[in-house]
Structure 1
Amino acid sequence: MNRRTFIKRSIGSLLTFIGLSGGTYYYSKEIETHLLKVTEETISSPKIDPIFNNFKVIQFSDTHIGFHYSLNQLKELARKINALNPDLIVFTGDLVDEPNNYHWGQELNNILLSMQATYGKYWIYGNHDHGGYGTDIVYEVMEQSGFNLLQNSHAIITKDNSHFTLAGVDDVMLGNPDLTEALNEANPNLFTLLLAHEPDYADTAAEFPIDVQLSGHSHGGQVRFPFIGDLYTPLLAEKYVQGKYYLNDDKFKLFVNSGIGTTRLPYRFLCKPELHVYTLQNQHI
């Protein structure tokens, strides 16, 4: 840890202790964690066929069910997602906080199954999905719920004989990501959207024929303060924490979702749970 980071975290920890010990404690634990922010972004590219104009992709991430996030909350999230009429739904990892301690049941499957998208539902592994012996059971739950796994693989999304590529890599921390394998036999001339749980993987992905990366993992820091920003983010979410970033001379875009649930600490402060709605548009050269 360098000196600047140490000072930032020390001041932030003091503010957290003072603030969360006072009146903001109740707000950060009981109110903001329930305040869903819907972030709308337009993704424009000359590689997007005009057939896909206004095509709507919804991303949710990091539900961490079981750690202060309930099935009732997930049910409400599913209702809100469906109300947005998505063409495509993507989940970028960390379904359950501790798979080995979670009481799995059919209700979770039913809620995930209730999410509807015209062109399908896709997901990738996060570190919590692989952790706690969760790899197989999370796969089974998502498979039974109609979500298609992209684990170092890709799918071709087709509409009226026009296409774009949706790719996904395995979790970087606890899996075996292989972007070369994920793009094997993919057409580099098609618009390509990548799902990668850890946002800092963008530095690797930007070297491939990829246009946009969607990530989670960071939770936006969960607790943020004015002028200081996030106090702590996990490994591989330290460089790219929240919002959108442009790499490779703006040819590569990264969007980092702040997640739905919480982990480690059940608080959110100035960092609401986030649902992303991306609208595709052809960009004329």
Structure 2
Amino acid sequence: MTNAGEAQSADDSAHATQQSGLRHLMRYILLIAPVLLWAVPCWVLLYAGQHWPLPVALGGTALFGLGLIGMPLAMVRGHGRRQQDWAAIVGDTLLGVSWVLFTWSVLLGVLLRLVLTVAGAGGGQNLPRIVTWAVLGVAALLLAWGYAEARRVPRVRHLDVQLPRLGAGLDGTRVVLITDTHYGPLDRAPWSARVCATVNTLEADLVCHTGDIADGTAERRRAQAAPLGTVRATRARIYVTGNHEYYSEAQGWVDLMDELGWEPLRNRHLLLERGGDTLVVAGVDDVTAESSGLDGHRAHLAGALNGADPGLPTLLLAHQPKFVDQAAACGIDLQLSGHTHGGQIWPFHHLVRIDQPSLAGLSHHGTRTLLYTSRGTGFWGPPFRVFAPSEITLLVLRSPQRPLTP
């Protein structure tokens, strides 16, 4: 017993040491990342062989220095204790600008130089100047386009999904998915109303919101969320929490969605019946819920399915795609998720894939489970979407038993 206790103590100590190391690493990353985001494009655009006139070099350096200092300060004031929306807008915008500049400074600073050098084009000052203007031009175009993409009402993505266990009576069931609306510092109440009006044109049987409604408390973002109360569905409007709810009084959002006529599926299910067939529609809290410390909040799939007939097809709402491992183990037919934003600003897509099994779209898991991952309806933080368009998704459930049309 003593040896077992000592072994357990050693394991706990090793785990604590590992966690401490990870926390230290994250601190270093948070300190280094802003420097890299601003220093790399500064060097590529101003000092990598360009020999700009002194006023240009000094002015450009000052701008990059202001970005390096201003971005973290604004984000702390905007997302920290003060929660100042104007500061959050400034900080988030600077973060998006620096990410795009960094990405294309690296890509064009290396690739375009290589191509032009191999082609024998632009010796002396020509090559560095071409790279500078190419980076600035590409970044400006992508930021303008990305801003328009982020602020527009999402296009509707239509997808037929065949579920082998779905009865013929449920064939053609229309499920609309919105997620990651992220109502926040930028007031998007008119945008929210237009999104809801678009949803209402889709004649949905079931409308689902898979979390990350907003950044901020329900009281603070109520006006932007209020149009959700106008959404229409013939059977039900259902909602599950996302991780961002747990940054801002999650229970307040659960209560507000209930007040707006949405049914929060917190580790429980409902039955959708049509034509003599039944679909189990279940929902779980986000996987971060338990660590929030809120009483009763946790992702509990067994609780969500408690009392449901295991022989019936099941649709599950879970904010994060990585919950699909548990869903597949329980034989869920279809999981709907968001969270990834499709990467939002390329090439952040590749970092998302490290944490999640799916970036966007329909994927297969296990022997039976399908996962649909939405790119999200809104945006988080930087008001840009680059190569990751937002979406409102219409999924039409299909049964293999449906009668053939003549």
Q: Give the TM-score band, short-chain normalised.
A: 0.7 to 0.9
Separation (CA, whole Å) in 1 of partners of 2:104 and 2:282: 39
Change in 2 beyond 3 A, CA 1:90/1:144: same
Number of the residue aligned with 2:163: 45
What are the residue-to-residue correspondences of 1:173-192 with 2, within 5 Å? 173-175=288-290, 176-192=298-314
SS at match of 1:280: strand
Separation (CA, whole Å) in 2 of partners of 1:144 and 1:88: 18
Aligned residue among 378, 391, 405 for 1:274: 391
SS at match of 2:329: coil
Q: Give the conservation status (yes or no) of the 8 Å contact 1:124–1:149.
A: yes
Number of the residue aligned with 1:213: 335
Aligned residue among 119, 137, 153 for 2:268: 153
What are the residue-to-residue correspondences of 1:12-91 with 2, within 5 Å? 14-16=102-104, 18=135, 21-34=139-152, 36-68=154-186, 70-91=188-209
Deviation at 1:177, TM superposition (A): 0.6
Change in 2 beyond 3 A, CA 1:69/1:91: farther
Separation (CA, whole Å) in 1 of partners of 2:148 and 2:251: 33
Q: Give the conservation status (yes or no) of the 8 Å contact 2:208–2:239.
A: yes
SS at match of 2:193: helix
Deviation at 1:165, TM superposition (A): 0.2
Separation (CA, whole Å) in 2 of partners of 1:42 and 1:191: 16
Deviations 1:207-262 (A, max 9, x none): 0021010000111110125xxx71443985x321111111113x111000011111
Separation (CA, whole Å) in 2 of partners of 1:16 and 1:34: 24
Change in 2 beyond 3 A, CA 1:170/1:120: same
Q: How many percent identity over aligned positions?
A: 25
Amino acid across the alignment from 2:382: L
Using the size of structure 2 for normalisation, the TM-score is: 0.61
Number of the residue aligned with 1:123: 239
Amino acid across the alignment from 2:261: G
SS at match of 2:352: coil
Deviation at 1:189, TM superposition (A): 0.9
Q: Give the conservation status (yes or no) of the 8 Å contact 2:241–2:286.
A: yes
Q: Give the conservation status (yes or no) of the 8 Å contact 1:258–1:274.
A: yes
Separation (CA, whole Å) in 2 of partners of 1:48 and 1:103: 38
Amino acid across the alignment from 2:362: K
Separation (CA, whole Å) in 2 of partners of 1:235 and 1:154: 31
Q: Give the conservation status (yes or no) of the 8 Å contact 2:158–2:393.
A: yes
Q: Give the conservation status (yes or no) of the 8 Å contact 2:147–2:384.
A: yes
Deviation at 1:31, TM superposition (A): 3.8
Aligned residue among 85, 108, 121 for 2:225: 108
Separation (CA, whole Å) in 1 of partners of 2:267 and 2:353: 23
Separation (CA, whole Å) in 2 of partners of 1:127 and 1:235: 18
Answer yes or no: is 1:230 the counterpart of 2:343: no
Separation (CA, whole Å) in 2 of partners of 1:84 and 1:75: 15
SS at match of 1:171: coil
Change in 2 beyond 3 A, CA 1:108/1:239: closer
Bigger relative contact order (CA 8 A; separation at least 6): 1
Deviations 1:153-191 (A, max 9, x none): 111112244211001111102341111111111111111
Q: Give the conservation status (yes or no) of the 8 Å contact 2:214–2:221.
A: no
Separation (CA, whole Å) in 1 of partners of 2:211 and 2:104: 28
Q: Give the conservation status (yes or no) of the 8 Å contact 1:124–1:170.
A: yes
Separation (CA, whole Å) in 2 of partners of 1:132 and 1:32: 23
Deviation at 1:48, TM superposition (A): 1.1
Separation (CA, whole Å) in 2 of partners of 1:45 and 1:101: 40
Deviation at 1:101, TM superposition (A): 8.2
Separation (CA, whole Å) in 2 of partners of 1:265 and 1:116: 30
Change in 2 beyond 3 A, CA 1:16/1:259: farther
Deviation at 1:104, TM superposition (A): 2.9
Q: Give the conservation status (yes or no) of the 8 Å contact 1:33–1:272.
A: no
Deviations 1:111-150 (A, max 9, x none): 11210000010000001112222x2221121011110011
Q: Give the conservation status (yes or no) of the 8 Å contact 2:170–2:275.
A: no
Number of the residue aligned with 1:6: none
Amino acid across the alignment from 2:268: S
Answer yes or no: is 1:203 the counterpart of 2:325: yes
Separation (CA, whole Å) in 1 of partners of 2:401 and 2:221: 51
SS at match of 1:104: helix
Structure 1 unaligned spans of 5+ = 2-8
Number of the residue aligned with 1:4: none
Q: Give the conservation status (yes or no) of the 8 Å contact 1:62–1:94.
A: yes
Amino acid across the alignment from 1:57: V
Answer yes or no: is 1:244 the counterpart of 2:359: no
Compare CA radii of gyration and give the structure with the larger one.
2
SS at match of 2:166: coil
Q: Give the conservation status (yes or no) of the 8 Å contact 2:172–2:396.
A: yes
Amino acid across the alignment from 1:92: T
SS at match of 1:39: strand
